[in-house]
Amino acid sequence: MNDPGFAHLPAGLLVLLAALVAERLLELVVARRNARWAAARGGVEYGQGHYPVMVVLHVGLVVGVLAEVALVPRAFVPALGWTALAAVVLANVVRAWCVHALGPRWNTRVIVIPGLPLVSDGPYRWMRHPNYLIVIVEGVALPLVYSAWLTALVFTVANAALLTVRVCLEDRVLGPVA
């Protein structure tokens, strides 16, 4: 095995993380467009205080995977790595389904348009917050593609705290399920 360091990162990991970062940047473009759409319809944003924490946490996931694989001997373990990669791919397919189901109401922020009913199509037919389940799965699976278990653990604990705040906020501002 090569000496640890960023110069020796596996090409597959770099491709995976580059694809994930590109997807997230595209999501931010869509989220900004959707925020303008919501504002034009009287949308009100909630939870601005926790949003920067969420951004730092998600950037930290990518940086954590890079750092852990670069600085600590981590290998691609086929049974774990392929299973984790499949979970990452599946999570992103379901994330796209969530975005599609919400249409222009989807956002990375909590923006509520008064008078609009809750979406009950797509994965929202079965659960109130499917995207957060996706984030949980991805937060565990992405690091485990290359056995970065420490990053998976730290992200999962921090994300649990953030999601507790976020889900409680959304439940409060969205109101009861019909």
Mind listing the domains of the chain with CATH numbers? 7-174 (1.20.120.1630)
pTM (2 decimals)? 0.90
* pLDDT tens, residue by residue, 12-24: 999 999 999 999 9
Residue 164 confidence (pLDDT): 96
Tokens 């954590």, residue located = 64
How far out from the chain centre does Cα 121 lie? 20
Residue 87 has pLDDT above 80, yes or no: yes
Tokens 């796209």, residue located = 96
* pLDDT tens, residue by residue, 32-60: 999 999 999 999 999 999 999 999 999 99
CA distance 91 to 121: 18
